Chains A and B, each alone.
Chain A
Amino acid sequence: MTAVLLDRATRAAIEALEATDDIAFGARLLANTPTHEGRDPDLLRRWARTATEFGAALDPVATTARIVESDGGLARGLLARYTSRPVPTVELFTDTLALADELAGRLGWRHWYPAGSLRAAAIAHETVHEQLHHGPAKAALRRSLGHVVLRAGRHRLYGHVAGADEIAAHAHARAVCGLGRSPLLLTAALAAAAEAAEPPYGTRHGSPHASPHGRKK
């Protein structure tokens, strides 16, 4: 595992993250999700709050998914992943989780993120995706967000809010694992630390916005 070495600027940037509240992190996640580019920041914040409350209120359920652990999360910029096929599986990336755990200790955030709690949070997080994918909770989340895309008399069609399920998953993980702050805070800190430590994660195949090599057609 890579030790967390933070220069002064990175450490200051991470400490500044503490001042951002958990709902703001949710709104930031939504703002990063395509289809929300032109949305009012207040609306994003309202959706983030609703999704947070929805996720926190979800009944804890034990995952039925297979749990596997592997390395290589840092290279891909991932902490955990849920895949529904061939069998529902929650993949935990041990290197990223270990680094996040170490970072929490180094930043003095242990009271928010007790040792080992992130592994449980990752499982709880992915369980929500499993729940939203297979169960009726997805429709309930959509209704609670209240994004009306079509109205005909008394009838309303509620639209999908991309990214809301992710916020719900984080809020659920925080609630059931007893974390002091949303896992999104630690995720943001980890992203800043990883970016400062080495070439940007997730760029193994080049930047998404890099000019593609090759030529026409």
Chain B
Amino acid sequence: MGVVILLVMAAGVAAMLTRKLPTAFALVLLAVVIALLAGAPATGENSVLDTVLQEGAPTLAVTMIAILLGSWLGKLLDETGIAGTLVRKIVEFGGDRPVVVALGVLAVSTLVGTVTGSAPAAMLAGIVGIPAMIAVGIPKVTAAGTILMGIAAGMPFELPIWQFFSTALELPVDTVRGFMMKLFPFALAAAVLFVLVETRRRGVEHTWSLKSASAKPTSRRERLGDAPWYALLTPLVPLILALGLDVAILPSMLAGVLYALVTTTRPGGMNKRLLRTLYGGFEVAAAPIVLFVAIGILLAAVKLPGAVEALEPLVKAVSPQNPVLFVVVFTALVPLCLYRGPLNVYGLGAGIAGVLIAAGIYPAAAVLGLATSYNQVFGVSDPTSTQTVWSAQYAGVTPQQVMARTLPYVWAVALGGFCVTAATYL
């Protein structure tokens, strides 16, 4: 039966890869089929309807709220001009040296990446950051890559991600935070190295473009003035609270929302701005929330006793226990987290992580190391992920070009993560 479940999973991956089915729908369908194959009854204990669908859907509810708060904060950073001001200042101070501008935009992206993820993060840092970098001569692929590498460097501090891994892998937030602290230096080093090496390798590029003389499109952004300097500290507020003062994730993010609001908005306009950005945040968060509902359902399915029993011997047989082999095998498998592959933690990878833990093949903390390391690769290089697609398109290049340029760097980050995992948890 285990083999049949794996074949069904492979079919699910194929459906996602070929875009026959949106990821969320494919995951729910997979979950139901896996539960049926595992012999789950329709209702009652460990059943398809009650356990997989009813209990699985809200499993990641706290993550969903965190995502919503992150999107809300992201909307506020945009509407109040905080993100744009950061980039503008960087260009004004360092515009003569493209590498300085790129490093500055990288820092902004990292800050934004701690607040929110996916396309909203790329847009926050990239809407001004990408054209600003291109204007000072940074080549387009490097500009798009800089935004993505920056967001990925901030990802280890992204509070919704802590919440996701904590709930999905049933680990305390402290454990997740501890591993993320170890992963961060690799992510940051790779991001800085990307900027330094790529700007050196590719130099500068200036184009005489047809667009340069076009009539200016009207934009709401025109009306944004500079945000005050103390408002620019907004992305640090949730971080300081959650990381330095051990405040829980949701209140930390709410504090960020409040800080952005009071530092940028007159009392009379606060209610209106809060509501407008909150509703905007719902729109941004809709897609990831749907995905997290589906992941919760899939996790519930692969943790059913019948599924664990069927998959355990198979997964055990192919999972390396030797630390060196662990690093070598999982490093070699990195490409499988791209193109909605089976190791994508926002797809079937979450299910595989669930199986690895439920079957007792690795300790949960080791699975955390695997999943977060793959997430660093996926978050930057996957040509189907929204932030990569958006950044590449906005810069005027293809996601595949961005993947080719960034993959070596993020692959090294994953290697670092696996080494830490093997040394710490195996």
Contacts and interface: CB of A to CB of B under 8 A. Distances in A.
Interface of A: 25, 28-29, 31-35, 37-38, 76-86, 96, 122, 125-126, 129, 133, 138-139, 142, 147, 149, 157, 159-163, 165-166, 169, 183-185, 187-188, 190-191, 194, 201-202, 205-210, 212-217
A131 to B, nearest CB: 11
Given A162-B136, A217-B288, A80 B84 contact: no
B389 to A, nearest CB: 4
Nearest to B226: A38
Contacts of B95: 159-162
Contacts of B118: 216-217
Contacts of A162: 91, 95, 132, 135-136
Nearest to A82: B206
B201 A202 contact: no
B128 A201 contact: no
B206 A81 contact: yes
B203 A83 contact: yes
Contact of B398 (A169, A205, A214): A205
Q: Interface centre among A25, A161, A209, by most B CB within 10 Å?
A: A209
Contact of B213 (A25, A38, A81, A206): A25
B96 A142 contact: yes
Given A34-B128, A205-B398, A214-B389, A126 B210 contact: no
Given A34-B135, A82-B205, A84-B203, A217 B87 contact: no
A202 B291 contact: no
Contacts of B379: 217
Contacts of A76: 396
Interface string B1-42: 000000000000000000000111000000000000000000
Ranked nearest first, the 8 interchain pairs of A and B with the lowest CB-CB distance are A160-B95, A85-B203, A84-B203, A159-B92, A216-B288, A188-B213, A212-B389, A217-B346
22 contacts: A29-B212, A32-B212, A32-B214, A33-B131, A35-B128, A37-B219, A37-B222, A38-B223, A79-B208, A83-B204, A84-B205, A86-B203, A138-B96, A149-B92, A149-B93, A166-B212, A184-B212, A194-B210, A208-B393, A215-B386, A216-B288, A217-B346
Nearest to A83: B205
Interface size grouping (class) on chain B: 35 or more
A99 B224 CA distance: 38
Given A159-B92, A165-B206, A205-B397, 13 more contacts: A28-B215, A32-B212, A35-B87, A38-B226, A126-B208, A133-B204, A139-B96, A159-B93, A162-B135, A184-B213, A212-B389, A217-B117, A217-B386
Contacts of A216: 118-119, 287-288, 291, 346, 386
B393 A187 contact: no
B209 interface: yes
B266 interface: no
B24 A215 contact: yes
A210 B24 CA distance: 22
A202 B210 contact: yes
B210 A77 contact: yes
A38 B224 contact: yes
A32 B132 contact: no
Contacts of A169: 206, 208
Contacts of A166: 135, 206, 212
Nearest to B219: A37
Q: Interface centre among B215, B221, B223, B395, by most A CB within 10 Å?
A: B215
B157 interface: no
Given A212-B389, A214-B386, A215-B291, A80 B208 contact: yes
B320 to A, nearest CB: 27
B385 A210 contact: no
Contacts of A80: 207-208
B418 to A, nearest CB: 20
Interface string B310-353: 00000000000000000000000000000000000010000000
B210 A190 contact: yes
Contacts of A138: 96
